[in-house]
Structure 1
Amino acid sequence: MPLWKTTAKAVRDWLHLNPQLQAESPLLPRRDGKLMTRANVAQRLKLAVQIAFQKYRDLANISVSPHMVRHATAMSLLQSGADPCEIALWLGHESPATTHMYVEADLAMKERAL
């Protein structure tokens, strides 16, 4: 999985603080050590957005969801030159054709900028 340098450092720090995590363990487990559900992820994201709202008031006008974060990350990877086939694998798409919508969206954004 592609990680920004700051994210990679945060993961290393997290693993250092949580030596009980094994290679097969979820990176961010629930309290019982099991994999988070979609609802758990959405709840954590909602809390993070509430905290971020204190500094970035314009977040009030944006609906932030796990899907939106996933989409924004895929677009960022594409715009930074990542191979669409690699992005498809990262997203878990069965076919790279599913990821083609990101390529089309990126081209449309570039056309509007010109």
Structure 2
Amino acid sequence: MTFLTGDEIDALLSAPDPRRWEGRRDKAMLALAVQTGLRVSELTSLDCDDVTLGYGASVRCEGKGRKLRAVPLDCSIQELLRARLGERSGKRGEPLFCTRTGRRLTRDAVAQRLAIHVRAATETCPTLLDKRIHPHVLRHSFAMSLLQAGVDTTVIALWLGHAGVRSTDAYVHADMTIKERALSLAAPVTARPGRYQPADKVLTSSTACEP
């Protein structure tokens, strides 16, 4: 499973040109994907009125099986979306991420824009060259960031809109650092096997404390 590190995500989000309309749109779109874990189909289907800013900030989306869920937004993505909504000036039911003519972006268009920005980001972050990056990698990256922060897999499953935790378990196996932390908590391989046998002095003192 391919996912991006924190440095790689920072490089990717710095790649879109803020001087261009498409660059500002793409940065908001990629940042939303990597900070919410939305599927590309959920991302492209967002309308302007699906975003709530301020108190209880969230984005409402329709996932697999037409299941609706609301995903919370942090302050940094709120600022990007506030700017996006102001520039977009979209009405209720109009796509949040669209072309200059107002047409909704397709899955292929998102993949194409992502590829452009990944190529630009490799100039400052060469490790991106070793990874095959597509829109779903952003979803994987978000899930891994939660898992590495210690968030329970059941919460991650709800956040991602998974039907159960079995789909989320794959992330546990994808990151070696999680396994290494678990191994560090286990007994060292040099530990002598067998059950603990207390010395006579310990047994005597324990018996003396009994009422």
Alignment TM class, shorter chain as reference = 0.7 to 0.9
Distance 1:110 1:57, change over 3 A: closer
Q: What residue in structure 2 maps to residue 39 of structure 1? A: 108
Distance 1:31 1:81, change over 3 A: farther
Q: How far apart, CA to CA, are the structure 2 residues paired with 1:32 and 1:65? A: 25
Aligned partner of 2:179: which letter? E
Query: Retained in 1: the 8 A contact 2:114–2:134?
Result: yes
Query: Retained in 1: the 8 A contact 2:97–2:104?
Result: yes
Cα drift, residue 107 of structure 1: 7.6
Q: How far apart, CA to CA, are the structure 2 residues paired with 1:38 and 1:107? A: 27
Q: How far apart, CA to CA, are the structure 2 residues paired with 1:89 and 1:32? A: 35
Distance 1:87 1:37, change over 3 A: farther
Aligned partner of 1:59: which letter? L
Percent of pairs with identical residues: 35
The structure that is strand-richer by fraction is: 2
Cα drift, residue 51 of structure 1: 1.8
Gaps of 5+ in 2: 1-70, 185-211
Asked which structure has the greater CA Rg, the reply is 2
Q: How far apart, CA to CA, are the structure 2 residues paired with 1:22 and 1:96? A: 37
Of 75, 78, 83, which aligns to 1:8? 78
- 3-state SS, counterpart of residue 58 of structure 1: helix
Query: Retained in 1: the 8 A contact 2:111–2:135?
Result: yes
Distance 1:27 1:78, change over 3 A: farther
Equivalenced residue count is 112
TM-score, normalising length: structure 2:
0.44
* Range with greater deviation from structure 2 (24-33 or 52-61): 24-33
Q: What residue in structure 2 maps to residue 54 of structure 1? A: 123
Q: What residue in structure 2 maps to residue 112 of structure 1? A: 180
Cα drift, residue 42 of structure 1: 0.7
Gaps of 5+ in 1: none
Q: How far apart, CA to CA, are the structure 2 residues paired with 1:74 and 1:23? A: 30
Query: Retained in 1: the 8 A contact 2:88–2:96?
Result: no
TM-score, normalising length: structure 1:
0.73
Aligned partner of 1:73: which letter? F
Distance 1:48 1:23, change over 3 A: farther
Query: Retained in 1: the 8 A contact 2:148–2:178?
Result: no
